[in-house]
Structure 1
């Protein structure tokens, strides 16, 4: 029995920007190998990815208000290996060009691509790109791990399942009704979910407006009204181009430094980003809003996107090389609120998004100033086998993402401040940093310099790509 999965609220942001702005939010994993993996092993990896959860496509609902439907795609991309080699100094430009230009499509496919190129020093670079609409970061990395283990499978193409929270029903039920009737029923359910979301949003808004003395709110979480008002993003980023730096460190060294300062590997990651942002004068001395994505994936959860987000407001100056315990406490309190179901009002309104005209949603979403100043996405720890293809072990594995198609002549921008993705594989921790504010980070050299100063302040040894 083949399972069917409807588009989820967690997917809605990436669908909205595609429909409203023509953007494609694309994620990328990059491997740097000291030698060329065997062509047959690369082809086998590509073939196994075909069977996995990345190889999905979207079918639009046939009636208003119903959610679109995911199916396992009956097509997949071929492995792409460049004929010409590149120099070791061109690895960033090659992988960046792939990230910004790879042609991916959620409806007509493909939704992912595996591409490699030889390096003139005898090495090899491998890139896997995928639409964020299809998979979040952890889903993407898990799909690679499954392909390397030869266990890749997509429940949408095989065994049936039941998962009410994810909208999954078995094929035996689907065969009993027609597609349009199923869509109509789903549309009615969505209207009910939107009404429930409005009620929950109203309750959340009332909770957030209560005086601090009358509710349980951590002292470190202050009103975002205290954040300095910055110029519009399109004025600070007229070219709509971000700068990139990738950093690799010994994971044990990173964790030891974090413990020495009363923190965890994740709080040190957040602190490094916050410190670089402070040093750039981006916040002008005001508090920083730090966004932290959190996986909400459960067992047998086949959603492509299952990530929620928490935020902390760092009002006090975080001293480079200082005590991480206060930041650790702020993060812990934010995670506890998420676990207790305390979400921001706008999160509850996600089921309403698909029922409203796109233009109205865009106006509402861009009217406020709630975008984080920095986003720290820690994808987690993965076994060293993530680095191995055909017996060749990569020196590092990096993860990152961007929106394709951002028009510099329009006022809309994807991202602000800094955004970073960290991934640990075996003994290596690698994080890629994107800087979106062109006034504070005019180029990669400026970003590299600020990050270097911050890492030096924590006594962290590293290798920058």
Structure 2
């Protein structure tokens, strides 16, 4: 039998929130076109996505302690084009409805959907949604770009198919079932061994750093009850730990966000202009991105003048890496030393040091415990995950440079491409929330840098107008020229 790709530790957060809360963490790529692409090209794009890494499904293991396995799906969704155009001012409503309500399922499928709609000004909007459990942001964008270039391929499509019980009867099905259970049993034993190794590493890390595993920001701090970023994606470094005690303790997230609704805005900037402004202030495109988010969050009064912890996801994908999610990350503390429109050199240095620690293998203690998660009762894992208040105040996810090819469907080129994500199914009556502060995703497509921003704190960002006002003020103070969607 061919090698089996199991659900990885990087996938575990999205599986946990699905099992524990019924949430589906969904990602979205959004294209804005000045004209409608040829229907033939749209259909071809959808057909090629069938061959991509997005078209996978999850098969539960036959042994309780074994991990589910990924297989290439033997079905895929059809292209969906709305019959009625929308108004040019209704793009956010339309795309938000698709992001929050598109029906995706990792086991029964589909795990992705391509949907488009004409705009009454002659333009066209295209949305690609996919489950984060199936792919991280960079993987999803790369899959879309490969499909546009007619090079999409999922390495799992060549593996032995996991047959459905109704597909085949007889000895072949029986042999497949026995072989699968043996593989599951072997994986379960490996998981127990990995969990033991992880506990040992976590204990060693705690002893070395002399910090509590699930501590609060300071004695008496209250639980935030938010699950907004993968525990494997943002970690404390020595600098972050030393400064974190100055962060103010906020009210629980569900009290600051009683409706469990985000405010959204999207910004496009000429990429060369963005780089030029960043270099003018001694930074990089990424450090300017972090600074803008932190400045807008601080301007809202969110941190009451205290330091902000900003999470920065980092791709850990290697060559011939078949995983859907391969993201780790770092966190940096942004203090009042960073002044809007001021020197970015200190922030740049802190980011560089954090990346260096990650590259050197210095991981937070809780990261080593991820193999243990699948062996523990879900209720216990949820209790531990929500016990502290160490999640980032902001997340700045730069997916990278994907070139001009990401913008074109056939002969029509998008004016901009945006990326964003959210958790479907968050119940406002429950104390759990997905995210806090600001979370943003940036994509460079050709000569345009575009980032979408979600504001989760309803006290500081009651609506999209408030978010746009604070964000535009911050962009103006950095002397940036921009266009808000």
| TM-score, structure 2 normalization | 0.90
Name 1:439's counterpart in structure 2: 459
Shift in Å at residue 74 of structure 1?
0.4
Return the alpha-carbon distance in structure 1 between the equivalents of residues 366 and 133 of structure 2. 20
- Which of 270, 287, 297 does residue 277 from structure 1 map onto? 297
1:214 aligned partner: none
Q: Does the Cα contact within 8 Å between 1:2 and 1:156 map onto a contact in 2? A: no
Tell me the SS of whatever aligns to 2:198.
Answer: helix
Distance, in Å, in 1 between the alignment partners of 2:243 and 2:202 is: 18
Indicate if the aligned counterparts of 2:305 and 2:336 stay in contact, CA closer than 8 A.
no
Kindly report which structure 2 residues correspond to 1:123-202, keeping only aligned pairs within 5 A, or say none: 123-158=123-158, 178-202=179-203
Structure-1 separation of matches of 2:246 and 2:93: 39
On the 8 A contact 1:2/1:155 being kept in 2, the answer is: no
Give the CA deviation at 1:309.
1.5
Whether contact under 8 Å (1:221, 1:312) holds in the other structure is: no
Query: Aligned runs of 1:18-57 on 2, under 5 Å?
Result: 18-57=18-57
Shift in Å at residue 207 of structure 1?
A: 2.3
Contact map agreement 1:291 1:376 (CA 8 A) in 2: yes
Is 2:440 aligned against 1:420? yes
Alignment of 1:303-314 (within 5 A): 303-314=323-334
Bigger mean CA deviation after superposition, 312-321 or 67-76:
312-321
State whether residues 240 and 331 of structure 2, in contact with CA within 8 Å, keep that contact through their aligned partners in structure 1. no
Which structure 2 residues correspond to residues 366-385 of structure 1 after superposition, within 5 A?
Answer: 366-385=386-405
User: What secondary structure sits across from 2:242 in the alignment?
Assistant: coil
Q: Is the 8 A contact 2:256 2:458 kept in 1?
A: yes
Aligned-pair RMSD on alpha carbons? 1.5
Structure 1 residue 145: Cα displacement: 1.1
Alignment of 1:239-278 (within 5 A): 239-278=259-298
Residue 329 of structure 1 aligns to a residue whose secondary structure is helix
Alpha-carbon shift at residue 159 of structure 1 (Å): 6.6
> Aligned-pair distance for 1:313?
1.4
Number of the residue aligned with 1:463: 483
- CA drift of 1:121 comes to 0.6
CA distance in 1, matches of 2:122, 2:50: 29
Return the alpha-carbon distance in structure 1 between the equivalents of residues 274 and 356 of structure 2: 25
CA shift, 1:314, in A, is 1.9
Alignment partner, residue 363 of structure 1: 383
Superposed CA deviations along residues 130-152 of structure 1, whole A, max 9, x for unmatched, are 00000000000110111011111
User: Once the 2 structures are TM-superposed, how far is the Cα of residue 417 of structure 1 from its aligned partner?
Assistant: 0.3
CA distance in structure 1 between the partners assigned to 2:416 and 2:3 by the alignment: 36
Map residues 447-458 of structure 1 onto 2, 5 A cutoff. 447-458=467-478
Give the corresponding residue for 1:325: 345
Partner of 2:74: 74
Structure 2 gap ranges (5+): 161-174, 212-236
On the 8 A contact 1:220/1:314 being kept in 2, the answer is no
Figure out how many residues of one structure are paired with residues of the other and give that number. Answer: 446
Which of 394, 398, 422 lines up with 1:402 in the alignment?
422
Shift of 1:106: 0.1
Against the structure 1 CA distance between its residues 58 and 220, is the aligned structure 2 distance closer, same or farther, given a 3 Å change threshold?
A: closer
Closer/same/farther in 2, CA of residues 218 and 184 from structure 1, 3 Å limit: closer
Contact 2:302–2:460 at 8 Å: present in 1 too?
yes
Q: In structure 2, what is the Cα distance between the partners aligned to 1:175 and 1:405?
A: 36
Q: Structure 1 residue 303: deviation in Å?
A: 0.1
Q: Secondary structure at the match of 1:313?
A: strand
Superposed displacement of residue 202, structure 1:
1.0
Once the two structures are TM-superposed, the CA of residue 204 in structure 1 deviates from its matched residue by 1.5
* Equivalent in the alignment of 2:370: 350
* Distance in 2 of aligned mates of 1:139 and 1:276: 29
Q: CA deviation at 1:288?
A: 0.6
